Structure 1
Amino acid sequence: MSKKSSAFHEQEIKNSGFSNNSNRNRAINENGEFNVRNIGLPFFRPYEIYNHLITMPWLRFTLMVVLGFFVINFLFASVYFVIGPGHFPGMDASTTFNNFLDAFFFSAQTLTTVGYGRISPIGFWASSVAALESLFGLLSFALATGLLYGRFSRPQAKILHSAIALMAPYKVTQRGFMFRIANMRRNILNEVEASVTISYMNEEPNGPIRRFYPLELEIKMIRFFPLTWTIVHPVDEKSPVYGWTKEDFKKADVEILVSLKAYDETFSQNVHTRFSYRYDEIIWGAKFIRNFEQHSSGFTHHYLDRISDFEHAQLPELVSSDVLETERPL
């Protein structure tokens, strides 16, 4: 072990939260969630309901609300229909199906407390069920309002990142690992901080072990975030992957873990996001193409659909292999 590799060993991240066991699965999925599935939990988990409702996709949430509305009205309409049209003056359709439709729409009017008045309940059971549905409707709409507020008020970072990362020329004679990020929203993000960790399989006497090391960045934090930020890790003598080739990345099953934190002025809160790049999502010998330009109107046009655009470029030559052998970490 060289002095250099000893220094790297001291820098190893021990609190990554991931296992060091031999594991070649992705750590962070493309949607930013950890690639972990908890097993052994009970099927019904009431403590998860609220979190699930405010984090599920909007389309699924909308469909759930609409479906719930129809199911509730269908159930109450069935009860009204069983009680009988005679207990609901105005429910005098000529067919059974039309009577059920009248009961369904009466249920919808009762649930929403609209009450047009054409149909009204008479008798203990009819009035009791209608009163119960009114209470249920008030509670349901209060719950739906709270969920909508929770979904709208929950701060989220909508940070776009390039679909690929690059191993690119850096300062003419060096190499740099780099990727790009940009704010998808029109809100203001300040004090944006980036933390980048490399995870790779290291062959050791007792078998392969997954190690985690921090990657030093050219710039760790930017005060303002109006344009694309190209995050660069200089692959110099201080880098854990100094001298590594594309084949080395593949053999070591490299995954680059990225964590971002920023202050959102709209919500006056910190927002976080995370993503990763695996070895097969890294393009070697390329550089990004600028995705913004000055316009005659006086504005800077920022093209977010070009954040992943790149062109091929010649990488600087590596130093001799005998030097690299002593510089690589364990």
Structure 2
Amino acid sequence: RYRRARFSSRRVRRRVVFKQGDCNVVQGRVAKRRRKYLQDIFTTLVDAQWRWTLLVFALNFLLSWLGFAAIWWLIVYTHGDLDPTVADNSTWVPCVRDVKSFTSCFLFSVETQHTIGYGAKHTTEECPEAIFVMCLQSIAGVMIQAFMVGIVFAKLSRPKKRTQTLLFSRNAVICQRDGQLCLMFRVGDMRKSHIIEAHVRAQLISKKVTREGEVLPFYQQELRVGGDGEEDRIFFIWPTTIVHKITPESPLYTFSAADMLRHRFEIVVILEGVIESTGMTTQARSSYLPSEILWGHRFEPLVSFKKETGEHEVDYSLFNNTYEVDTPLCSAQSLDQLIGLNSSNSNGLKYPVGGSSTSATPDLTSMESNSMLCDKENSMQHIILHPTDIPGPESRI
């Protein structure tokens, strides 16, 4: 049975990871699913919703009390302690004193399991089986208590909740940095306790058809990302802009601004690190669709220095803000070709000053080649425009 869609049909988008980090994946038609979940009952209860965990917590104790109460009732019943005639016999030694009904057995079971010990009810040396059951229930009570407390503690201390204070920018942007087209997004941490050994990963998920004709609907390609576009580890003390340089090794190398609207892909970004206060590893996720990538935008600075206090202040109201910058609308591949074309044309055609008549005549082959390069350059001049000159994924925030 499949769960219902989280969004209405108009808002459903084919994404693998939601913006808040949940994976849009449902495991269906798993053979012996329930048995496998019960074999790993601890993880099942930790991952379950709180209402189910608390229900199992309460049922464990209640059923153990009732189960041992039934055992105590059988012991005193077979020994004859429930017979009304033995109440007046002063020489009669019962298995458990002051137990006269199933309710008394239930109360004695609770007292034994949790070592309450009010003092009125206690076992005697008359019945060895009663002594054995008392020891057995004491051990079982400790095991049940340790198991359930461990589940609740593990559920409360899960690093998953730490991801609620780790932020990803609403949009990714593409602009130039040091003459290189780059894909950038921003990550931030609201807490004062930092993430140690923080590192970032990014993957592009898209459809691919192999040379043999095999269709890979969710082909994953790693994107090289980092604070400088090279190293994935970051010093995460304030919001950091993560950079992916669109080089020939990048899957985005052939994508132009118009291609961003035509292609279907998803960029999944992952932030991992160790929580400073607990020492546990946490992972935060988000994703960007082509419609969430702004071409020709750059993030606004949000860290400033306050002279009054001598502190660096982070303004999280600017976390998602971007502004437009002049950016080539062509792909990084076309931009590299254009730069190479301009550098070759800057050399010009050099003709010899003296010599024979043949040497004074320009090389027709070179002139024809240069003319073709110039025509190609002129045809590509329209590529470098302002981002607002054509409709595309660029927009203002």
Q: TM-score, normalised by structure 2?
A: 0.56
Change (3 A) 1:157 1:239: farther
Aligned-pair distance for 1:183? Answer: 3.8
- Rounded to whole Å, the distance in 2 between the matches of 1:116 and 1:69 is 19
In the alignment, does 2:203 pair up with 1:197?
yes
Instruction: Name the SS of the counterpart of 2:35 in structure 1.
Output: coil
Q: Take 1:301 and 1:251, find their aligned partners in 2: how far apart are those partners?
A: 40
Distance in 2 between the 1:71 and 1:170 partners?
A: 66
Counterpart in the other structure of 1:134: 138
- Equivalent-residue separation in structure 2 for 1:297 and 1:74 (angstroms): 64
Q: 2:389 maps to what in 1?
A: none
Change (3 A) 1:64 1:322: closer
Pick the structure with greater CA Rg: 2
The 3 A distance-change label for structure 1 pair 62 and 280 is farther
Q: Which has the higher contact order (CA 8 A, sep 6+)?
A: 1
Distance 1:72-1:244 versus aligned 2 partners, 3 A rule = same
CA distance in 2, matches of 1:240, 1:168: 14
Aligned to 1:256: 267
Give the counterpart letter for 1:132 in structure 2.
Answer: L
Residue 165 to residue 140, structure 1, CA distance change in 2 (3 Å)? same
Aligned with 2:183 (options 143, 156, 177): 177
State the AA in 2 paired with 1:225: F
Letter of the structure 2 residue corresponding to residue 116 of structure 1: Y
Q: Does 1:43 align with 2:53?
A: no
Partners of 2:24 and 2:292 lie apart in 1 by 20
Instruction: Note if contact 2:168-2:185 (Cα within 8 Å) is conserved in structure 1.
Output: yes
Say which of 62, 69, 73 aligns to 1:70.
62
How much has 1:207 moved relative to structure 2?
A: 7.0
Deviates more, 1:107-116 or 1:203-212: 203-212
Give percent identity, aligned residues only: 20
CA distance in 2 between counterparts of 1:138 and 1:231 reads 50
Checking the alignment, whether the CA contact within 8 Å between 1:243 and 1:318 is kept in structure 2 is no
Match for residue 214 of structure 1?
222
TM superposition shift of 1:66: 3.6
CA deviation after TM superposition for structure 1 residue 231, in Å = 1.0
AA aligned to 1:167 is: V
Amino acid at match of 1:240: P
Q: Aligned to 1:277, which of 283, 287, 304? A: 287
1:136 positional shift:
1.0
Q: Secondary structure at the match of 1:44?
A: helix
Return the offset for 1:255. 1.4
Pairs aligned (count): 295
| Residues 1:250 and 1:65: Cα distance change in structure 2 (over 3 Å) | farther
What are the superposed Cα offsets for residues 36-66 of structure 1, whole Å, 9 maximum, x if unpaired? 6272245323652343345556675455324
1:55-98 residue CA offsets vs partner (Å, 9 max, x unmatched): 55667545532442233224434555676794764467xxx9xx
Where in structure 1 are there 5+ consecutive unaligned residues? Answer: 1-23
Per the TM alignment, residue 321 of structure 1 is displaced from its structure 2 partner at its CA by 11
SS in 2 for 1:309: coil
Q: Which amino acid aligns with 1:139?
A: M
CA distance in 2, matches of 1:194, 1:37: 27
- Judging changes above 3 Å, is the alpha-carbon distance between structure 1 residues 43 and 140 closer, same or farther for their aligned structure 2 residues? same
The answer to whether 1:111 aligns with 2:113 is: yes
Q: Which runs of 5+ in 2 are unaligned?
A: 1-12, 83-93, 339-397
Pick aligned residue for 2:251 from 240, 247, 253: 240
Cα RMSD after superposing both structures: 4.6
**CA-to-partner distance for each residue in 1:188-218, whole Å, 9 max, x for gaps?**
4343222222122246783754443332333
Residue identity opposite 1:73 in structure 2 = W
Contact 2:256 2:329 in 1 (8 A): no
